[in-house]
Amino acid sequence: MARLIAARRTAVVPRGGAFARLSLEDLAAPVLAACLADAGIAGGQVDEVILSNALGAGGNPARRAALAAGLPDRVAGLTIDRQCAGGLDALLLARALVASGAAEVVLAGGVESYSRRPLRLATDPDGGPPVAYDQAPFTPWPDRDPDMAEAAEALAQTLGIERDRQETWAAASHAKALRADLSAEIVPLHDVTRDSFTRELSPRLLARAPVVCGSITAATAAVAADAAAVCLVVSDRIAQGRGLAILAGATIGGTPEEPGLAPVAAIRRIWDGRPLAQAEIMEAYAVQALAVIEAAGLDPLTVNPGGGGLARGHPIGASGAILAVRLFHGLHGGKRGGQSGGQSGGLGLAAIAAAGGIGTALLVEAP
């Protein structure tokens, strides 16, 4: 069985903020090093680095981060893109490598710089000028590839989740994050030691938030951000009883028009309804988190005890890995994750939705 024995992340900073000048390797390399230091694992023991990245210009950021972290040249690095789900999918790949015996020590997670994302141009095969675009298509059919905010609003309309309920959830997410001590999981970088977007969302601020689409406002949608998050996944032999057991994981595609509900099928595949000590559900939109919690039958009191993505931001390729970092520290209790509101020990679940109708879920257990 694969085990997760260390987990760290940078703070999450909205684009254009304190991390705006940092490259992907600037963000990720210190987190890779911190995971190894926490676990007492030498860089020479690392078999692979797997990082998710959704917005970069290629060049295998995982390889660049591995080299920048001082890992041996033989560590090739693997960069994956499954958009928002990629950070959790990197952990599932690490688990598969370890379970198969192909590796014993894998650093896995995600890194994203919204601030440094490249400008995109589509060339014209007939020789016309290139056309700028912001994001790649997520399906081959434009009519089945909705804007994410419009998809969130459609979900709100279908399920009857009104603006005031979304705002209540968003305010609670920020409030929990303000109370939480997340210092044990955050690697200080450029003197940033906390998630800089977290704030008190007063009724006045909520009422003034710009409308994004229908009932979706800037307060109930996660802000674009920069961050890195990494977990250390190892074999039982290396773990020697430490850390979280990775019990199961699944990535399942669903209806492209309803990306927000995609994690439900993945959760149902790996979780049998046993009580969860902690669940980390990505809050790309408040309505999406609420919909998943209800459809999957989760206890809201166990969800995001230290706040969620609405209180942090959404560094796309890293967001799934941040959920796993939160689980690791919440389930371990004590100094290494202790005062975030999580319950030490027990089962933990992380789940995230991705554009194109993809959902990923991870189930772990602490002694």
Which residues, at least 6 apart from 180, have a Cβ–Cβ distance to it below 8 Å? 305, 306, 307, 339, 340, 341
Q: Where are the beta strands (DSSP E) in 161-262?
A: 211-213, 216-217, 225-234, 244-253
120, 113, 263, 324: CA torsion to nearest 10: 160
Tokens standing for residue 27: 């963000």
Reply yes or no on whether 190 is catalytic. no
Q: Is 174 a catalytic residue?
A: no
> b/e map of 105-122 (b: 16 or more CB within 10 Å)?
bbbbbbbbbbbbbeeeee
Question: 174, 314, 329, 332: which one is catalytic?
Answer: 314
Helical H runs in the chain? Answer: 24-39, 61-68, 86-100, 148-159, 163-179, 203-208, 236-239, 263-270, 286-296, 309-312, 316-332
User: In terms of Cα–Cα distance, which of 146, 139, 143, 162 is closest to 286?
Assistant: 162
**CA–CA–CA angle 301, 305, 311 (5° rounding):** 120
* Cα separation, 362 vs 86, whole angstroms: 12
Among residues 35, 84, 231, 329, which one is catalytic?
Answer: 84
| Residue type (1 letter), 310 | L
Indicate the length of the chain as a whole number.
367
Give the active site residues. 84, 314
